Amino acid sequence: MAQDFFRKPSEDERRDFEDIGPYKKKGAKIRFQEKLGKVRLEAGKKKIPFFKKAAMDDFDEYYKEAVKKSLRIHGYVKAEEIKPIKTDWDRYSSPTQIDFIEVVDIRDPHASKKHPFDVFVKTYRYKYHGYGVEGESNMSVMEEEQYAVSRARAKYEGKEEPKLESLAEKNSWDYREKAKEPETTGDEEVKIDVKDAL
């Protein structure tokens, strides 16, 4: 019967050791996913929309090209040669890329169980340019539970609804204001006062 013996290598033996096994470091894909998770968490804390799918699609396009190039050069994928993509994370939550669609009240079953009244949470719906049907939302941001509970409690007790503005509502105005701005065609006439120009 054969037995496997394992001995921890000494310092002298480890000095010249080179691991020829599979790539052990974090590849570009893992680093991208970790950063994506952190950015999404920050957007969630700020209560602003962040479109994950567009970021993933952009990375996947880049990664497929890098893999093809590595295969063409080496005959196999050299993971250490695939460099991380430089990503403009703000693009995926920018008011120039995202349209505000609507505000919808949605019953929160979890919060409603904790109180003797139904709690409806305001959900701010958005659409990212180039994804989905025009006029339909494909991402949403929910307000904090405490604001919904305050409104529901006031309604239940027959009091006036509190004038509280949640962080999700405050941040939605950046996207709403952009929707109200008239689009310029570049053909508009510009008047300049000669005195101001000098």
pLDDT tens-digit profile, the chain (198 residues): 566 666 777 777 767 666 555 556 778 888 899 999 999 999 999 999 999 999 999 999 999 999 898 888 888 887 778 888 888 999 999 999 999 999 999 999 999 999 999 999 999 999 999 998 888 888 999 999 999 999 999 999 999 988 888 999 999 998 888 755 555 444 444 443 434 433
Q: Is 29 helix (H, G, I), strand (E, B) or coil?
A: helix
Number of structural domains the chain divides into: 2
Model pTM? 0.72
Q: Please give the pLDDT value at position 195.
A: 41
Q: Please give the pLDDT value at position 194.
A: 37
146 shares a domain with 80: no
Residue 128 lies in a domain: yes
Residue 172 lies in a domain: yes
Residue 154 lies in a domain: yes
Q: Please give the pLDDT value at position 108.
A: 93
101 shares a domain with 41: no
Residue 41 lies in a domain: yes
Q: Which domain holds residue 124?
A: 95-180
106 shares a domain with 86: no
What phi and psi, each to the nearest 5 degrees, are found at residue 81? Answer: -90, -10
Q: Please give the pLDDT value at position 186.
A: 46
112 shares a domain with 147: yes
Residue 122 lies in a domain: yes
Q: Please give the pLDDT value at position 162.
A: 86
Residue 46 lies in a domain: yes
100 shares a domain with 78: no
176 shares a domain with 100: yes
Residue 198 lies in a domain: no
Q: Tell me the CA distances in angstroms from 119 to 34, 109, 144, 169, one per residue in order.
A: 34, 8, 12, 17
